[in-house]
Amino acid sequence: MIEVRNVTKKFRNVTALQGLNVSFGENRIYGLLGRNGAGKSTLLNLMTNRLVPTEGFLYMDGFPLTENDKALGKIACMGEDTLYEPSVRLRRIFEWTAIFYPGFDSAYASALAEKFGLDVRKKIGQLSTGYRSIFKLILTLASGAEYLLFDEPVLGLDANHRQLFYAELLARYSKRPCTVILSTHLIEEIANLIEHVVIIKNGRILLDRPSEEIQSMGFTVSGRKEAVEEWCAGKNILGSQEIGGLMLAHILGEHSGVPASLTVTPLDLQQLFIHLTNS
Ligand SMILES: Nc1ncnc2c1ncn2[C@@H]1O[C@H](COP(=O)(O)OP(=O)(O)OP(=O)(O)O)[C@@H](O)[C@H]1O
């Protein structure tokens, strides 16, 4: 388990994280969500020792994470920045990664590269934005690490490659359970994948709950516009959408007494996120 205890991170006059307390348990898929500048990358960089906290501590299994090579070897993080010289060939980076992560699975990395159509003979500087992301997510997936951290994993990926990534991530997770932290703005795409949701707002934890609890925080009703409007009057409505004569309304609270003419579906995570972070 990775524990973040009372962590504050300041950059000169910017406080990126403020007194943060959050834990990431074993063998779960987390969604780390927040608006631009909320502090997600800062948190991931603290967990990988790329940054040091201004105040507070981070622990893995009860031991401090700072300068703890054994613990850091259990975490692989796909960050936003590329750490390599543009002239280095991808297959060479696979070899280097295998030195830092003894569990790195070269055969699996090659198989993933083939599935994504990535030519490992290429130099990193020759890759498009999307293939740069693909390369970094392959390194993370194949690292053999126990904690896989993804910061904007699908940046620049087309819809086909995004779908392939989610499928490969689930395959990796079910074959060899690990802790996955997915930080992304594409909430709808990961909503069915994540088991636990952590939302950061202005450097503080706003929500930290299992996905099934979030679903029970509310619900969505849909049906004829007039019928939805009539039934929703006076209820705590997060938001609504209209298509032709039909309406969809996202509501906080328990669903009881919904007429048979309306359809009830689980609460939409993205709608909840927009509502909670919209001020
Ligand atoms: N190296 C740095 N120097 C100064 N300020 C920084 C630095 N890194 C982050 N910040 C600031 O800290 C805050 C949190 O940034 P962070 O990158 O963690 O947000 P984020 O949630 O990952 O955002 P995004 O979704 O836009 O990537 C922002 O105000 C950002 O400008």
Do 171 and 226 share a domain, yes or no? no
Q: Kindly write down the DSSP assignment for every residue of 225-255, as one continuous string.
A: HHHHHHHHTTS-EEEEEEETTEEEEEEES--
The residue type found at 40 is K
Ligand 1 centroid vs 41 CA: distance in angstroms? 7
Give the nearest ligand 1 atom to 9 CA: 12
Whether residues 46 and 67 share a domain: the answer is: yes
Structural domain range at position 266: 217-277
Mean pLDDT score of the chain, rounded to an integer? Answer: 92
The model's pLDDT over 27-50, given as tens digits with 9 standing for 90+, comes to 999 999 999 999 999 999 999 999
List, for residues 235-250, the tens digit of each pLDDT value.
888 888 899 899 999 9
Q: Tens digits of per-residue pLDDT, 7-28?
A: 999 999 999 999 999 999 999 9
Last residue within a domain, chosen from 213, 234, 251: 213
On whether both 200 and 224 belong to a single domain, the answer is no
> Does residue 81 carry a pLDDT above 60?
no
> Do 69 and 183 share a domain, yes or no?
yes
Kindly give the number of the ligand 1 atom that is closest to the alpha carbon of 15: 12
Residues 166 and 239 in one domain: no
Yes or no: say if 65 and 51 are a contact pair by the CB < 8 Å rule: no
Q: Are 94 and 120 in contact (CB under 8 A)?
A: yes
CA of 202 to the centre of ligand 1 (A): 10
51 with 166, same domain: the answer is yes
What residues have CB less than 8 Å from 131, skipping those under 6 apart? 116, 118
Ligand 1 centroid, distance to 39 Cα (angstroms): 6
Separation of 36 CA from ligand 1 center, angstroms? 8
- For residue 201, the cross-strand partners are 204
Chosen domain end from 213, 234, 262: 213
- CATH code where residue 53 lies: 3.40.50.300
Band of residue 182 on the pLDDT scale cut at 50, 70, 90: very high
Which residue is closest in CA terms to ligand 1's atom 27?
A: 36
At 82 the pLDDT is 61
> Is the shortest distance between the CB of 128 and ligand 1 below 6 Å?
no
> From ligand 1's centre to the CA of 13, what distance in Å?
12
Residue of the CA atom closest to atom 31 of ligand 1: 37
Note the pLDDT tens digit of each residue in 85-103.
889 999 999 998 888 888 9
- Number of folded domains that form the chain: 2
250 CA to centre of ligand 1 in angstroms: 31
Decide if pLDDT at 80 tops 80. no
Q: Kindly state whether residues 157 and 272 are assigned to the same domain.
A: no
Ligand 1 center from residue 118 Cα (angstroms): 30
Q: For ligand 1, atom 4, name the residue with the nearest CA.
A: 11
Q: Counting atoms of ligand 1 from 1, which one is nearest the CA of 12? A: 4
Alpha-carbon distance of 136 to 79, in angstroms, equals 8
Q: Two tokens at 89?
A: 């060939």
Q: Are residues 151 and 268 in the same domain?
A: no
Nearest ligand 1 atom, CA 185: 25
Residues 19 and 76 in one domain: yes
Q: Looking at 157, 191, 213, which one is the last position of a domain? A: 213
Cα separation, 156 vs 136, in Å, equals: 12
Task: Give me the amino acid identity at 216.
Answer: S
Q: Is 38 in the pocket of ligand 1 (CB under 6 A)?
A: yes
Same domain (yes/no): 53, 139: yes
Q: How far is the CA of 38 from the centre of ligand 1 (A)?
A: 7
Residues 103 and 201 in one domain: yes
The answer on 237 and 150 residing in a single domain is: no
Identify the band that residue 113 occupies on the pLDDT scale cut at 50, 70 and 90: very high
Ranges of H-type helices in the chain: 40-47, 69-72, 90-100, 106-116, 129-141, 159-175, 187-190, 211-215, 225-232, 269-277
Residue nearest to ligand 1 atom 3, measured at CA: 11
ipTM score of complex: 0.98
Q: What atom in ligand 1 is closest to the CA of residue 203?
A: 14
Q: C-alpha distances in angstroms, 1 versus 28, 133, 179?
A: 10, 27, 9
Closest CA to 40 of 153, 139, 134: 153
